[in-house]
Amino acid sequence: MAKSSVKVAVIGFGTVGAGVVKILQAGAEDIYRRTGVQLDLAHVVDVDLQRDRGVELKAGLLHDDLDRVLADKDVAVAVELVGGTTKAAEIHKRLLASGKDVVTANKALLGERGKEIFETAREHGRCVAFEASCCGGMPIIGALHTGLAANRISALYGIVNGTCNFVLSGMSNEGKDYSTVLHEAQAAGFAEADPTLDVTGVDSAHKIAILSMLAFGKEIDFQAVQVQGINTIDLTDIRHGQELGYIIKLLAIAEQNEHGLSLRVEPALVNKESYLAQVQGPFNMVSVFGDAVGHTCYLGRGAGMMPTASAVVADLIETARGNAGRIFASTAGLGRPAEPAQMCPVDEIRSEYYLRLSSVDRPGVFAQVAKIMGEHKVNISGCLQQGSRSGQFVPVVMMTYRARQKDIYDALSELARLEVVNAQPVCLPVVMLPADE
């Protein structure tokens, strides 16, 4: 038991695959010294056999034939780094059916089709380990599996997409607009050529679905995650937020309240003194609240070759030890069935809000706005208004006390119908983490 040797196949030789190969080639001896686990790279599978990935492979390791991996009885664990949800699902199923454990960084697959993949693993008595699927090398999956396992988790707030955080940091720090910073992020390698999954919040939704399943021990329907991205964020709101003492971050939120579990991804204002507000560039942060432990918080690089490879190899070590298998087998939603989470109706979500509307600058307009807010039980806690002295449209920025999302939305649609209000009002939640004093 003290020493284990395991043969590993890597399926998908892209950026992260190359990182995994680097660690397995350069770090294997040190890993063995510290952990007693010997990881031997036996196959690297990719359709592209020519491209230079900046790592040298021993002759014969790289090929394009998944069947050779499936037939190799010595391979105990395979790393799926193909990505996507269709071909990757098939690869997972074939690997599991051939008796191999699977390690993956594929958040889209597990976020959207996790139940199906985990059931397949269960049928075949194998495991799927996925530390690398959320937040790169920050060991948040491990923390939920083990370190926090004694807790009933009440809430989780995360900056879980490095691309979005890089873009929002750039907009906040440098006052540049969305598309300028997005292009810079692409040039710097912090955004994909097609950044849609990131900037629309879908990638963050995949991650909050995975994290919530573990945190709450419930089956999560990916479609139940409310998703809003950063692609509609206006520099104006970032500036107004800063004047009021807030930074805008894309948050992935899971909150358990008396109505059920609320899962959402949304750009939100966070107090500029908070830890979340200070997360810069491609870093990720996750704050978790447990009934015994209180607030714990995790910071690390959210993506990239080596941080993600770090998490993949961590899972390989735990799989080789047999621990990943035991955790998988005993965890609700993985090796054991879990009940579907009871979801909080969207209307029952409560938050403070930031509102901006464009209204004609003339006497009585603010009173009209305030009256409508009051009729919908939304109390204004503060406002920013600069007169134009010209009867033109001017921005009116309001902060509210805690209110029901439905009441805010109802008030907003009524406001949008006023003649004195121009264009669709902007509404962003103001997220205050639970007190832990």
Q: Which residues bind its own copies (CB under 8 A)?
A: 1-4, 19, 23, 27, 30-31, 33-37, 131, 136-139, 142-143, 146-152, 217, 273, 275, 278, 281, 290-301, 306-307, 309-314, 316-318, 321-323, 325-327, 329-332, 335-336, 436-437
Q: Closest separation between CB of residue 215 and its own copies, Å?
A: 9
Active-site residue 207, yes or no? Answer: yes
- The torsion angles phi and psi of 275, rounded to 5 degrees, stand at -60, -40
Minimum CB–partner distance for residue 149 and its own copies (Å): 5
Q: Show the tokens assigned to 159.
A: 């900056």
Q: How far is the CB of 232 from its own copies (least distance, A)?
A: 29
- CA gap 264, 250 in Å, rounded: 10
Which position among 207, 218, 272, 406 bears the catalytic label?
Answer: 207
Amino acid identity for residue 129 in this structure: A
Which residue's CB is nearer to its own copies, number 235 or number 299? Answer: 299
The residues that bridge with 163 in the sheet, in sequence order, are none
Please state the closest distance from residue 228 (CB atom) to its own copies, in A: 27
Dist. CA 13–CA 365, nearest whole Å:
61
Residue 379 CA to residue 399 CA, distance in Å, equals: 9
Tokens standing for residue 144: 């939920």
Return d(Cα 214, Cα 111) in angstroms, integer: 12
Q: Please, what is the minimum distance in Å from the beta carbon of residue 238 to its own copies?
A: 20
User: In whole angstroms, what is the distance from residue 117 CA to residue 93 CA?
Assistant: 7
Of the two residues 194 and 258, which places its CB atom closer to its own copies in the complex?
A: 258
**Dist CA 321 CA 8 (whole Å):** 13
Q: Are 331 and 145 in contact (CB under 8 A)?
A: yes
Phi, psi (deg, nearest 5) at residue 344: -75, 125
CB of 93 to its own copies, least distance (A): 21
Q: β-strand 380-385 against 294-301: which pairing, if any?
A: unpaired
Q: Tell me 130's DSSP state.
A: -
The CA-CA-CA angle for residues 274, 276, 277, to 5°, reads 70
Measure the N-to-C terminal CA separation of the chain; round to a whole number of Å: 43
User: Which C-beta is closer to its own copies: that of 317 or that of 411?
Assistant: 317
The amino acid at residue 386 is: Q
What counts of helices (H) and strands (E) characterise the chain? 15, 17
Q: Please, what is the minimum distance in Å from the beta carbon of residue 157 to its own copies?
A: 13
For its own copies, give the closer residue by CB, 34 or 377.
34
CA distance 26 to 356: 54
Evaluate whether 163 touches 185 at the Cβ level (below 8 Å): yes
Please, what is the minimum distance in Å from the beta carbon of residue 36 to its own copies?
3
For the residues of 221-256, what is the DSSP string, one character each? Answer: -GGGSEE--STT--HHHHHHHHHTTEEEEEEEEEEE
**Strand residue runs (E) in 33-117:** 37-45, 62-63, 75-80, 101-104
Q: Which residue, 134 or 373, has its beta carbon nearer to its own copies?
A: 134
C-beta closer to its own copies: residue 191 or 369? 191
DSSP element (H, E) containing 26: helix 15-26
Question: 112 or 318, CB closer to its own copies?
Answer: 318
Contact 82, 12 (CB under 8 A): yes
Nearer to its own copies, 335 or 429 (CB): 335
Q: Which residues are catalytic, by number?
A: 207
